[in-house]
Amino acid sequence: MRLITDILETLYPTCCPGCGCVVDPNVQWCEACLRKIWNPRLLNSSFTDHLSGCYTCCDYAGAIRDCIIQIKYGGRRSRKRVFAPLLSRFPWWDRMGECGLVIPIPLSSEKKKWRGYNQVDLMFATWMKEAGYDYRPDALVRIRSAHTQSLLSRKERFQNIKGVFHIARSMDVKGETILLVDDIYTTGATMEAAAHELMRAGAKKVMGMTIASGAS
C-alpha cells in the first residue's frame, strides 16, 4: 500500500494552491503562501448578543478565498484537504478547550441538494473528529432559505437570517458550551442567528470558528 501511495505521489504530486509548487501532502501549503493568508485572531463581536466571540484562521483573500469559492461553488470537493493544515496550526486547546460540542452552520435542504454537500462539513468534520471533538452535523436545521447575504447591508443581513435555524428534535444542548463552525465570517449575522437558537434551547455558551474572514 505504501508503494502505491509513493507511486501516486510521484505521478500526481501535491501542489500548493497558492503558487503551484510541489509540497508535502501533509502540509498542502508552501511557507511563503501560508504567511500571506495566515492571520488567526478573535473577531469583533460587538454586533452579536448571543455569540460570545468568533475566531478565524485566515484573511479572506488570495489563495484561501479561491479555495473556498472552488469548494463552495465549483464542486471541487478535493479542496477540503487544504483546510486541515490550517486547523492544525490553530491553538485550539488554549482557545477552545472548554467546548463540548462542535456544530456546523447548516445549509437549507434546497441548497444542499443542489450542491450535493455542505462545504463546512468537508472543511471541518474529519479534522474535528480526529482531534477528539464531538462533531454534530445534524444538530441545527435550517428551516428556510434566506436571500443571498453578500448582497445585503449589515442591518439587512441580521434581519434576513433571523429565525432560519431550529434545534433538531433529538438534540439536547442544555448546559453545553458549543463551538459553531462555518467557512466565512463577514458581519456575524449567521453565527448570531444560530447562537441565539442554541442559547434559547439552554446552551451555556456559544463560540464561533471560521476558516477565513474579511472582518477585523
Contact 187, 60 (CB under 8 A): no
| C-alpha distances out from residue 71 to 41, 51, 80, 118, 199, Å | 23, 26, 7, 10, 31
pLDDT tens per residue across span 14-36: 999 999 999 998 899 999 999 99
Mean pLDDT of 134-141: 96
- % of the chain beyond a pLDDT of 70: 88
More confident call, 205 vs 47: 205
Mean pLDDT of 124-152: 84
Residue ranges and CATH numbers for the domains of the chain are 39-213 (3.40.50)
187: nearest Cα among 158, 162, 161, 209: 158
pTM given for the model: 0.88
| Beta bridge partners of residue 135, listed in sequence order | 102
